[in-house]
Amino acid sequence: MFGKVVRIFFMVVVSLIFLFLFIVFLLSSAIKFQILSYPFMSASLQEHNAYAQLPNIIVGLVNQHAQFEPGQQSIVDGQIKQVLTPQILRGTVNTNLNTLLSYVNGTAQGMVFYVPFSKLNLPNTNLPTNDYIDVDSQLQSQSNLANLHNIGGYAMFSTFGLIVVLLVLLLLHFFLCEKNKFLWTGVLLFCTSVVTLILSFVGKAAIQQFAPSMVHGSNQPVQQVIGILLSSVGFDITTSWIYVALGVAVIGIIFIFIQVLVDKYTPVRIKVHEPTLAQPSHY
């Protein structure tokens, strides 16, 4: 009886650790294969029409750093929107995004960003006049920026490390089950998928609730950019988690079905009690 209680206790502990690490795995894989992936990022921004929202953000940023004469601000705002169209901004953002992600993933040693300041021709501003910003010197002087180099490699290592740990935990849970091994392992996978679905829908609902207010209700460019990223990249990431959860649920159902087949086709062993010889009675 005591051994059975210990076995059940360790099964519960292994299940909780598996669930926690699975959520960590979702975050790690999202960083490596989505946030640090140029094809995913550019496609997500394009799909959610994020580039069309950038001119208004740039207008707000310029207005914070420029001094205009009376009546000049509206003219400059119109000039910015005329020059920096969503098509031009798409090319600029994609170029800089590719540069940044190449450095972060370790395929490039330095970063040179392109910002078309000269095309604006703005009066009385303290914005840079050079369109190309070389940040190599800042990378050497600031350790925080230098630490970004090859962070994609660490994300890849942690993601595949988590996969190995999750498989080991799943096998451990399987062998800890005294009976109905496939059934309880399938239940663990199915419960994991349910928790993942709940987190995904909660995250998606939170993004739909707060991201628009960050984009349209704030005058801070940083908050507006974060809102755009949440409404596009964050939305697509939580959507992918839903597909992952459904896949895990299918695997869990397959495990449960295997248990049904095992129970159906495994012959039942019936213990036959051999008759004992009657003892002679003594009178």
Q: What are phi and psi of 135, to 5 degrees?
A: -105, 15
Residue 142: what pLDDT? 53
Residue 253, pLDDT above cutoff 50: yes
Distance of CA 203 to the CA centre of its chain: 11
186, 256 contact by CB (below 8 A): yes
What DSSP letter does each residue of 233-256 carry, written as one string? IIHHHHHHHHHHHHHHHHHHHHHH
* Chain length of the chain: 283
**Reported pTM:** 0.81
Q: Which helix (H) or strand (E) element contains residue 72?
A: helix 72-83
pLDDT digits (tens, 9 = 90+) for 126-135: 666 677 777 6
pLDDT mean across residues, the chain: 82
Residue 125: what pLDDT? 55
Residue 219: what pLDDT? 75
pLDDT digits (tens, 9 = 90+) for 83-124: 777 888 888 888 888 988 888 888 877 777 777 766 655 555
What DSSP letter does each residue of 4-62 carry, written as one string? HHHHHHHHHHHHHHHHHHHHHHHHHHHIIIIIT-HHHHHHHHHHTT-GGGHHHHHHHHH
For the ranges 24-33, 37-46, 63-72, 173-182, which has the lowest average pLDDT?
A: 63-72
Q: What are phi and psi of 243, to 5 degrees?
A: -65, -40
For the ranges 40-49, 187-196, 272-281, which has the lowest average pLDDT?
A: 272-281
Residue 229, pLDDT above cutoff 50: yes
Residue 39: what pLDDT? 93
C-alpha span between 245 and 201 (Å, rounded)? 11
pLDDT digits (tens, 9 = 90+) for 17-38: 999 999 999 999 999 999 999 9
